[in-house]
């Protein structure tokens, strides 16, 4: 039985360009090497220290605490694989500048970095009050209406006519992140009468959440459309869509993106859960936005929903990110609580592709420490034998396609032959994603001629993307795969690696070949 965890040693530095590749091609530094055989340390290049010893990726949100090129570089070196740009707080005009800073870090490190642009989505808010605020008592009647006049303790303007049309008796209305709770007793065009279930101070422009109401609003506002175009033009790799309620919300963004970036659906509204399978099918990835889910549904239900989304995404082969309040106390403290450590570990045990930091890295006092802590937690979990038993217990039956059958076969070959690397030639990234879905105890080294594909794959579990020219024939495919396996320190002379590809080369989605290749001395010399 193969050893489930092996000690890591610093990796050999990789040349920045593959021999014969086009000028400026990016060859990734070693990544995701948990489970690889030991290699003698190479101290000739400080970049060898960048080798990750985990498969789970880390998403870091940028903000005031991580606004400088120096801090962004520190976050990457600490373990961030993906940088999130939150358009709720980032001015559109500054987006290209932030992207270029990240690309500069990428060029220096010679490893692909994914950029996630997170659209704000519709923001539902109350109008204003005559005195700036009012007190509403439990059991009192409170009216939301279309009258723009300043409100009081009896009524307030709700500047969203579509909400007033959609509300029905019995629907809950949550105000100020759920601090106040109202229940609709009467609803008519332009007016909703509510009973105050949980009262308190209600003030200007507080946010409104509607857990029971399907709101006839598109997921994209005019601001989102402008931000989306700005993100695509700046070179974003992933676009996150907020306020998703139905698959059509994702389809709208995908139509605009037109393949220029992958689209991730944020599951933050209970309404999305009733059509979850459809939303996953049309999306390129999912994010479990636990903060908003926790406002709009009972808190005790959120952990189960997290597991449901994670497992459904894995089953369909879509990367899934677990987000919100993962190390919340590290906004102000240099160490997390034990409960937060357990929370991050649970997401890793479930096989999430990535875990995300929000305010911890964007505005907290200890952004580097937060990244380092999250990385250490993931590393420790992935060394636990229980981790692999959980991962394998959740494996799903391959789809009835040649590509999925080959990915499943490659996984079985890894176990049978005790191999540490699957060399996946991929154009669109689909081959690598299929292999990642299998969660093999081997690193998926994705060899691609497209820089954009390599960056997108930085989000996927267990992948180590490298940009290189496409293979010319089957012999070249195997030979260069062996060379990269040695260069990236996943194999040595006499080892075997699995090579997965599609023939003819350069045809997206045509995975139809799997081969076992032996690493020779010639491969090592060419590396």
User: Which residues are known to be catalytic?
Assistant: 84, 125, 266, 324
Cβ partners under 8 Å of residue 146, min gap 6 = 157, 158, 161, 164, 190, 191
Strand partners, 516: 498
* Side-by-side strand order, sheet with 443-448: 463-467, 443-448, 421-425, 496-502, 511-518
What span, in angstroms and rounded, lies between the C-alpha atoms of 254 and 54? Answer: 31
Q: How far apart are CA 372 and CA 375, in angstroms?
A: 5
498 near 413, Cβ under 8 Å?
yes
Beta strand pairing status for 285-289 and 320-323?
Answer: parallel
Do the Cβ atoms of 308 and 276 come closer than 8 Å?
A: yes
CB-CB contact of 459 with 114 (8 Å):
yes
Phi, psi of 207 (to 5 degrees): -70, 150
Q: CA torsion sign, 246 to 252 to 257 to 258? A: positive
Of the candidates 147, 167, 166, 169, the residue with the CA atom closest to the CA atom of residue 156:
147
Q: Which two tokens stand for residue 223?
A: 């601001």
Q: Tell the burial category of 70 from Cβ atoms under 10 Å away from its Cβ (0-12, 13-18, 19+).
A: exposed
Structure tokens at 334: 């240099």
> CA-to-CA distance for 234 and 97, rounded, in angstroms?
9
Q: State the CB neighbour count (10 A cutoff) for residue 507.
A: 12
CA separation for the pair 11, 9 (Å, rounded): 6
Q: Is 434 helix (H, G, I), strand (E, B) or coil?
A: helix
**How many CB atoms neighbour CB 234 within 10 A?**
18
DSSP state of 385: H
Measured CA to CA, the distance from residue 257 to residue 252 in angstroms comes to: 9
């Amino acid at each position: 039985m193969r050893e489930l965890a092996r000690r890591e040693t610093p990796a050999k530095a990789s040349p920045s360009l593959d021999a014969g590749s086009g000028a400026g091609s990016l060859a990734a530094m070693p990544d995701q090497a948990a489970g690889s055989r030991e290699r003698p340390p190479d101290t000739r290049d400080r970049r060898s220290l960048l080798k990750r010893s985990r498969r789970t990726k880390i998403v870091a949100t940028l903000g005031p605490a991580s606004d400088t090129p120096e801090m962004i570089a520190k976050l990457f070196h600490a373990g961030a694989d993906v940088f999130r740009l939150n358009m709720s707080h980032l001015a559109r005009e500054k987006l290209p500048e932030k992207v270029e800073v990240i690309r500069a870090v990428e060029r220096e490190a010679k490893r692909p970095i994914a950029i996630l642009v997170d659209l704000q989505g519709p923001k539902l808010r109350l109008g204003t009050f005559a005195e700036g605020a009012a007190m509403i008592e439990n059991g009192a009647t409170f009216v939301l209406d279309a009258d723009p006049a300043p409100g009081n303790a009896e009524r307030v303007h709700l500047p969203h006519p579509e909400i007033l049309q959609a509300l029905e008796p019995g629907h809950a209305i949550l105000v100020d992140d759920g601090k106040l709770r109202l229940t609709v007793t009467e609803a008519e065009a332009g007016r909703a009468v509510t009973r105050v279930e949980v009262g308190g101070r209600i003030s200007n422009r507080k946010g409104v959440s509607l857990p029971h109401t399907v709101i006839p609003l598109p997921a994209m506002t005019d601001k989102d459309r402008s931000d989306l175009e700005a993100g695509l033009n700046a070179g974003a790799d992933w676009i996150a869509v907020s306020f998703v309620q139905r698959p059509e919300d994702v389809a709208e963004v995908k139509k605009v993106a037109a393949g220029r970036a992958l689209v991730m659906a944020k599951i933050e509204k209970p309404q999305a859960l009733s059509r979850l399978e459809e939303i996953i099918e049309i999306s390129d990835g999912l994010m479990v936005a636990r903060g908003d889910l926790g406002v709009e549904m009972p808190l005790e239900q959120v952990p189960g929903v997290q597991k449901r989304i994670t497992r459904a995404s894995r089953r369909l082969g879509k990367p899934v990110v677990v987000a919100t309040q993962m190390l919340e106390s590290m906004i102000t403290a240099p160490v997390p609580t034990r409960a937060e450590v357990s929370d991050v570990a649970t997401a890793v045990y479930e096989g999430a592709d990535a875990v995300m930091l929000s305010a911890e890295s964007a505005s907290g006092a200890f952004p580097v420490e937060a990244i380092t802590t999250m990385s250490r937690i993931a590393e420790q979990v992935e060394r636990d034998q229980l981790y692999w038993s959980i991962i394998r217990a959740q494996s799903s039956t391959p789809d009835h396609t040649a590509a999925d059958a080959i990915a499943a076969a490659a996984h079985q070959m890894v176990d049978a032959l005790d191999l540490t690397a699957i060399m996946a030639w991929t154009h669109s990234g689909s081959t690598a994603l299929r292999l990642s879905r299998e969660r093999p105890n081997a690193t998926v080294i994705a060899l691609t001629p497209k820089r954009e594909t390599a960056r997108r794959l930085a989000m996927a579990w267990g992948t180590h993307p490298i940009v290189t020219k496409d293979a010319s024939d089957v012999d070249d495919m195997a030979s260069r795969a062996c060379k990269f396996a040695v260069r990236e320190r996943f194999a040595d002379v006499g080892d075997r690696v699995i090579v997965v590809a599609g023939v003819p080369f350069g045809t997206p989605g045509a995975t139809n070949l799997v081969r076992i290749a032996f690493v020779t001395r010639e491969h090592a010399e060419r590396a």
